[in-house]
């Protein structure tokens, strides 16, 4: 991310379907990349928006409509939002291509070792939805292993 900031460019453009994925500071990172001179201070953005909004979400602060409106005003020139229901009629149909990708030898070893571990077997046997989801996430990581 820091490397991107060092690119000398006249214009910058970001396309994302999820500008707000986890928290407002991720949004600051995107805005800082686009216009580092306007969205310069990480701390100011956090103090002005992230901390109050997080407090409102968590219920530790009352809803402050002024903070929300100020955030909307600042973001309005930078965000173009389109709802799926508004654009899906003009998009071409989806085309799905299934490309089988067999595991490499190293990936296969990691996969089998992980599945054979006592901890993994215990997690799967417990039936815990969160535990099983975690196992699946770890298996995805194995499949994405660079080997």
- Whole-prediction pTM: 0.46
User: Where residue 3 falls among pLDDT bands split at 50, 70, 90?
Assistant: confident
For residue 126, is pLDDT > 70?
Answer: yes
Is CATH 3.40.1010.20 the right assignment for the domain spanning 2-84? no
Task: Please write the tens of the pLDDT for every residue from 9-50.
Answer: 788 887 777 666 566 667 777 778 877 777 776 677 666 666
Task: Please list, in sequence order, all residues whose beta carbon lies within 8 angstroms of the beta carbon of residue 13, skipping any fewer than 6 positions away.
Answer: 34
CA gap 129, 135 in Å, rounded: 10
CA distance 17 to 32: 18
For the segment 113-122, the average pLDDT, to the nearest whole number, is: 96
Choice among 30-34, 54-58, 99-103, 127-131 with the minimum mean pLDDT:
54-58
Asked if residue 89 lies in contact with residue 124, where contact means CB atoms within 8 angstroms, the answer is: no
**For the chain, domain boundaries:** 2-84, 105-143
The stretch 102-118 carries a mean pLDDT of: 95
DSSP state letter for 88 = G
Residue 29: what pLDDT? 77
- Spell out the residues 6+ positions from residue 28 whose beta carbon is closer than 8 angstroms to its own: 39, 42, 45, 46, 50
The model's pLDDT over 87-107, given as tens digits with 9 standing for 90+, comes to 888 888 889 999 998 999 999
> Residues 75, 79, 84, 88: what is their CA dihedral angle, to the nearest 10 degrees?
160
Check whether 64 has a pLDDT greater than 70. Answer: no
- Determine the Cα–Cα distance for residues 67 and 138; give it in Å rounded to an integer: 39
| DSSP characters over 10-45 | S------S-S-SS-HHHHHHHHHHH-TTTS--HHHH
């Amino acid at each position: 991310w820091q490397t991107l900031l060092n690119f000398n460019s006249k214009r910058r453009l970001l396309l994302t379907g999820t500008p707000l994925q986890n928290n407002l500071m991720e949004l600051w990172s995107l805005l800082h990349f686009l216009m580092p001179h306007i969205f310069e201070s990480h701390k100011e953005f956090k103090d002005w928006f992230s901390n109050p909004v997080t407090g409102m979400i968590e219920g530790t602060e009352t809803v402050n409509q002024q903070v929300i409106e100020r955030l909307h005003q600042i973001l309005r020139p930078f965000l173009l939002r389109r709802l799926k229901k508004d654009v899906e009629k003009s998009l071409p149909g989806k085309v799905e291509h299934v490309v089988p990708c067999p595991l490499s030898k190293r990936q296969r070893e990691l996969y089998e070792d992980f599945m054979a571990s006592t901890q993994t077997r215990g997690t799967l046997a417990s039936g815990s939805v969160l535990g099983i989801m975690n196992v699946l996430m770890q298996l995805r990581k194995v499949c994405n292993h660079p080997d």
